[in-house]
Structure 1
Amino acid sequence: MNIAARHHPFHGMSAFPLTPADAAGRVDAQTLSLLLERLCEAQVDSIGLLGSTGTYAYLTREERRRAVAAAVECVGGRVPLIVGVGALRTDDAVDLARDAETSGADALLMAPVSYTPLTQNEAFEHYRAVASASALPFCVYNNPGTTHFTFGIELLERLSHLPTIRAVKMPLPAGGDIAGELAALRERTDLAIGYSGDWGMVEAMLAGADAFYSVLGGLLPYPMLAIARTASAGEAQEARRLDDLLQPLWNTFKAYGSLRVMYVLLEALGLGQAQPPRPLLPLDARARSEILAAVDSLLSDR
């Protein structure tokens, strides 16, 4: 266990890799380890295993355990390993949190997966139960794009008082006022505040976010680390210049969904072949050509 990581896993650029699996949902541990080794070599600040990009919601408990075991063996404490434990039922999420801790994870991340829409209080009780099942530091995953649930600031304040909840992963604010949102959250909570939505990394880090949780960073860590570190250092002009190089790729993320784009990039990088879990379908030839054109310069210098 990386003891330092238990206290500081929610800062800097966190890379979220795919979880390669076959059509039956069995995790390809060898390819997963290859992806994780690349992230360790790049010295990302943390790895977000089994996040949305890691298709946690499509994997059984057994396969999620296999993924965590493979990741812990590969990473070996070199980089903090944050493991997603979201599940529809609270008792299942509790089991997943305990599995992750037993396997050697450094921290936990959870979105409020639901079918019947949750109330704010139901979400609080769900988080309280899962967070109390493990001693690991815990990040609240506010991802309304997939869960259709939005955390009110009052709920985040309540959650911040729970002893193991240390961070929140936020979507980019609809109005674009990241600085204003950060100020409001810091006034009401002591959470480490991070964002996702790769095209917003520059503005989030320039505004003073503690972390950025990157989809592209899971396959191409170097350009995302460069953006994160220049922006964190206040080098706005250089950070925006680097981000401008990725605008064609961000357009494909928005058009097709970042997860589908990542499967195209996995093959293009020669790192493996995997299909998105059904009912998601691979992108057609036209979309693939658009993605490859957008990322061509990155593939030649990765």
Structure 2
Amino acid sequence: MDVSLTLWALTILGLCALIAADFFIGGRKPHEVSLKEAGTWTAVWIALAALFGLGLLVFGGTAPAGEFFAGFITEKSLSVDNLFVFVLIMAKFAVPAVYQQRVLMVGVLIALVLRAGFIGAGAAIIANFSWIFYLFGAFLIWTAWKLIQEARADQEDEEYEENRFLKLVERRFPSTDRYHGTKLFVVENGKRLMTPMLIVMLAIGTTDVLFALDSIPAIFGLTQDPYIVFTANAFALMGLRQLYFLIGGLLKKLVHLSYGLSVILGFIGVKLVLHALHESGVAVPEISIPVSLGVICAVLVVTTLTSLRASKKQSAAEAADADAKERIEA
């Protein structure tokens, strides 16, 4: 897809306008986000992504539109995994519920800027070194296997561990031990200090970089168009804040999510290897975008249904055990 500098500029300006509208309408005043508000804004961002995809269909054709929707759904599903870590971060820094929306908004913006850098670097590497598809494919297959191993391990005691950048910031710049509203810096005893608000925002933004290490190669496995890669990431990330509040209570019920994500990453990894072999002149079949989109959607649907069913059975078993224990004690 041939994208001019003008279209790039208009797209970025449009995204900035949408982000500003999101902030001034729903996020300017710190408050606890209700399920109704989170659901409304989640629907708005999904609708905006759908409209953008339809625009690509009208002006670019079926191929770019299919690549966008496949990329958006993949990035959206992978971003749900981010929410588990975001919950741990919020708990570790004891972020008051009234400030969590602001933390996520700024943290996601930091993540989007950092991902833009990854996307630019990835596009440049792909344009000059076609063999990188072998590396991307192998990395995704390895990541898929690692996800399965983590899913099978007991992770009930999992805690968030700060990355090196965050530890460096905390060592070099002194901070207060309590929140001061939404202020990022305060002056105490003549010294300028960071607040926990800034630290947790950096934690959200920089932690996302770790997730980008597998999500960016994954979307490049679906499309090599930097414009589609960037916009799919932007729409997926910008709805992440509302999704956090909407399904925060359901995260523990998605017990099979890691298995589903591992299947998706493994599938895209195989797709990348086949594409690399095809580019090298080897006569192998390639997986089309419609097939990729179908597989991704099917895996997510099956994973969600089996997760909810397993959670329901587990809740019923726990209730039965509790009743039996009460009877014995009685």
More helix by share: 2
Structure number with greater CO (CA < 8 Å, separation at least 6) is: 2
Return the TM-score normalized by structure 1.
0.28
Return the TM-score normalized by structure 2.
0.26
Bigger radius of gyration among the two: 2
